[in-house]
Amino acid sequence: MIFTETKLQGAFIIDIERRVDERGFFARTFCQHEFRDHGLKPIIAQANIASNHKKGTLRGMHFQYPPMAETKLVRCTRGAILDIIVDLRPESETYLQHIAVELNEENMRALYVPERFAHGYQALRDGTDTSYQVGEFYAPSTEGGLRHDDPALGLEWPLPVSVVSPKDQAFPPLRDIEGELKRKMSLSLVAA
């Protein structure tokens, strides 16, 4: 695997290294040792898939608060997505900054999302599927979210949003929750 750290410390783009022969190719997509060697949390508590019927479908921006903060390894297995993550670590030099990465069935690229990041994506093609491997169990009592269209985040989606869940549309604006977000995401609570 080829690990490329992004401008957001701890967030990595992971490309596969194909071993090609007359049958096709073989590639490793996860290895605890390699993840640990790059300072990443090599734990998978759950594996999930999401299927999106229509291009323009948007999921996000989701996260879980500590102590149930999740890492995510996201890969598009069919179609294409624009995946965006936002740094929610109050002590980080890149707090509230984001990156966007296209993941698609051709590049087979993955995005490693550290704990205390918001994550969301938009399907760029009809019939798009994604695979998530997450480092913590789903805990509804600790989940949170940011609006995908909050001007304070400055996220740019390439397509008009065709479908978004009522739950995702109902997330409050950052200005209404930033104090609580900083408090709940602070290192002092993470270490506790």
Tokens of 82: 């624009």
Determine the Cα–Cα distance for residues 151 and 171; give it in Å rounded to an integer: 13
pLDDT tens per residue across span 143-185: 999 999 999 999 999 999 999 999 999 999 999 999 999 999 9
Among residues 38, 112, 119, 132, the one annotated as catalytic is 132
Determine the Cα–Cα distance for residues 122 and 158; give it in Å rounded to an integer: 8
84, 155 Cβ separation under 8 angstroms = yes
Q: Is the pTM of this model over 0.75?
A: yes
14, 111 Cβ separation under 8 angstroms = yes
pLDDT tens per residue across span 113-140: 999 999 999 999 999 999 999 999 999 9
Domain map (residue ranges) of the chain: 45-148+156-191
Half-sphere exposure of 64 (CA within 13 A, CB side): 19
Distances (CA, A) of 59 to 34, 83, 121, 174: 29, 10, 6, 17
Among residues 33, 38, 53, 62, the one annotated as catalytic is 62
45-148+156-191 CATH fold: Jelly Rolls (2.60.120)
Nearest CA among 148, 126, 3 for reference residue 55: 126
What's the residue count for the chain?
192
Determine the Cα–Cα distance for residues 77 and 110; give it in Å rounded to an integer: 10
Tokens of 39: 């300072």
132 is catalytic: yes
65 is catalytic: no
